[in-house]
Amino acid sequence: MKRVLYCCWEKSIHDIRIIELLNTQYAIDVVELKHNPTMYVKDKFDLIVKTPLWLNTTILNLNFSPIVLMSMGYDLNNSSNHTYQRSIQDNLNQAQMVVVDNPLFEPIVRQKFKFTNQIFYMPYGCDLEIFSGIVDSPRYVLGTNRAFSKHYQNELILKAVSELQNTEYNKFVMMEHGSLYNEFMVDHQELLQKIKFEIIPGGDVKNVIDFLKNITFYISASKSDGSSVSMLEAMAARKVCIVPDTKFNSYWIEDEVNGYLFKNGSKAHLLDTIRKALSLTDLKAKQIGDAAQKRVEKEADWNSNSKMLLNAINSII
């Protein structure tokens, strides 16, 4: 059996899914590079997979194994950062293939980083058999399951929701995960006292399903996604999604057709958009949710996409 070395910063729910997929065909060794500033790859591997693209850990590839880089979207979205840009360039210089989760990243990789090897486009997507079967939830429930870290901007959502009247919504649901969760809850006690909120556990697919069962409207304020898996899961579950108007989100969301787009970083516009969504009739909300699910079915089914990913990887081993 061929051997694959999977290198990530630390294992996330998305890394685990990729690792489980690769493990169906290969013998997998996993290294969390957060704990390994320099790594000597002395053993013979048929392939090295490294994610995300900005990892600046030095991998001394002593056997010159082929390398596949897997973008998680936010890494290429932050490529204007000088430190990130240098790390991405160094990694791309060693790679035989890069996987991107949004087709709009291909010209960035080609033109900005002068990458000439293979680019494979695949939205990581979601398991449609699981997420399309989620039952309808109570009305007027807002929620976000983005991790508590700086680039997801959960504070912006909290500020917008705090300006709603209690009669405008039932509750706001958040998921307990992310390195800054405890700090966030302490720093925003005053805002939290103004809203009706609920915290549910986070960390695995079951938690995500429970979250989606308990919301009507999915909100994300992240300014650095590619094809957000959590957004695609919510779309598959027929939730009305409210997300920033980045070109990467606009690839999936057509405003007021299969979701809502608000001006990136604007609390005022987010608040207006939430109120617009809350005013939807049941029929219109269902139409938007159905259209969102159809968009995901067209291009973001993990079960079919994962097979294409394995075929792409097999082509370079």
If you ran DSSP here, which 8-state letter would residue 111 be given?
Answer: I
Please check the confidence at residue 76 and state whether its pLDDT lies above 80. Answer: yes
| Percent of residues in the chain assigned helix, strand, coil, to nearest 5 | 40, 20, 35
pLDDT tens readout for residues 104-155? 999 999 999 999 999 999 999 999 999 998 876 778 999 999 988 877 899 9
Q: pTM for the full model?
A: 0.92
Residue 17 binned pLDDT confidence (cut-offs 50, 70, 90) = very high
- Strand partners of residue 8: 32, 51
Q: Can you tell me the mean pLDDT for 174-193? A: 89
Residue 62 binned pLDDT confidence (cut-offs 50, 70, 90) = low
Closest CA to 306 of 220, 239, 229, 202: 229
Both tokens of 90, joined, read: 């160094």
Residue 38 binned pLDDT confidence (cut-offs 50, 70, 90) = low
pLDDT tens readout for residues 226-280? 999 999 999 999 999 999 999 999 999 999 999 999 999 999 999 999 999 999 9
Domains defined along the chain, listed by start = 3-125+302-314 (3.40.50.2000), 128-299 (3.40.50.2000)
Q: For residues 126 and 233, is the Cβ–Cβ distance under 8 A?
A: yes
Q: What is the largest CA-CA distance in the chain?
A: 64
Strands 141-144, 171-176: parallel, antiparallel or unpaired by DSSP? Answer: parallel
How far is Cα 178 from Cα 181, in angstroms, rounded to an integer? 6
> Residue 275: in which H helix or E strand, if any?
helix 267-278
Instruction: Give residue 25's Cα distance to chain centre.
Output: 25
- Strand partners of residue 144: 174
Alpha-carbon dihedral sign for residues 111, 115, 119, 124: negative
Q: What pLDDT was estimated at residue 79? A: 60
How far is Cα 46 from Cα 156, in angstroms, rounded to an integer? 45
